[in-house]
Amino acid sequence: MKILGITGGMGMGKSTVSSIFRRYGFPVYDADAAVHNLQKPHGKALPLIAKKIPLAIKNGEFERSYVRKLIAEKPEYICVMENIMLPLIAKERNLFLGRCRARGIAWCVLDVPLLFEKNINRICDKTLVVSAPPSIQKWRILQRNKVTWAQAQRFIKCQMPDIQKRKLADIVIKTGLSRWETFRQVKRVIDKMKAET
């Protein structure tokens, strides 16, 4: 089984690209979705978060907005959250890969924001970076209404710069044009992957 690792910064269009792979039948592990699942009410991460950041859990629910503000004020809490979440996410990812191998899947996809930062690219046969111009990235982030631009910039600074990711990647998908152009680029990658199986 071969693994394609997909990554990209906030607002780059990573979810859109991953959805195209999913539409064409590729199993996709979504690290962001895994995080939300682990942090949902009664999620596996909640007791661990409560031990380190008690105010992050209120009435059995994860207070995401509180943690965002906390990290914005005290960036060291990024490491606290990563130390809690990354081992849990790795376990979920390994379960996903095990299921794909058991099904005899030719190619599967890992959608991971910190693919290069956490060396997950080492288990991938190919890596793909989703990239867009800074102005479009900012516009997309602000459209979500979940974080302010100042908060987003702090998160972006904690990640590897886009230019560095593009240098490390085997494939770069540029999403700054139209959805059709994004689809066309991804379809070309899919056709090559299918040709290799």
Compare 115 and 176 and report the one with higher pLDDT.
Answer: 115
What pLDDT shows up at residue 176? 84
List C-alpha distances in Å: 6 to 12, 81, 124, 159: 12, 22, 10, 15
Q: Which two tokens stand for residue 102?
A: 């058991």
Parse the chain into domains and list their residue ranges.
2-195
Q: How confident is the model at residue 99 (pLDDT cuts 50, 70, 90)?
A: very high
Q: Look at residue 75 and tell me whether its pLDDT is greater than 90.
A: no
User: What is the chain's length?
Assistant: 197
Taking the C-alpha atoms of residue 192 and residue 196, their distance in angstroms, rounded to an integer, is 6
> Which CATH number fits the domain 2-195, given the four candidates 3.40.50.720, 3.60.21.10, 3.40.630.30, 3.40.50.300?
3.40.50.300
Q: pLDDT tens across 15-68, in order? A: 999 999 999 999 999 999 999 999 999 899 999 999 999 999 998 899 988 888
Work out the average pLDDT over 162-189.
Answer: 94
Q: How confident is the model at residue 147 (pLDDT cuts 50, 70, 90)?
A: low
Strands 61-62 and 57-58: what pairing? antiparallel
Q: Look at residue 90 and tell me whether its pLDDT is greater than 80.
A: yes
Q: Look at residue 154 and tell me whether its pLDDT is greater than 80.
A: no
What pLDDT shows up at residue 112? 95
Q: How confident is the model at residue 180 (pLDDT cuts 50, 70, 90)?
A: very high
Contacts of 114 (CB under 8 A, 6+ apart): 7, 31, 120, 159
Q: Is the pTM of this model over 0.85?
A: yes
| Other beta carbons within 10 Å of 191 | 10
Average pLDDT, the chain: 90
Q: Look at residue 10 and tell me whether its pLDDT is greater than 90.
A: no
What pLDDT shows up at residue 143? 79
Taking the C-alpha atoms of residue 15 and residue 174, their distance in angstroms, rounded to an integer, is 13
What pLDDT shows up at residue 138? 79
Percentage, residues of the chain above pLDDT 70: 93
What pLDDT shows up at residue 125? 97
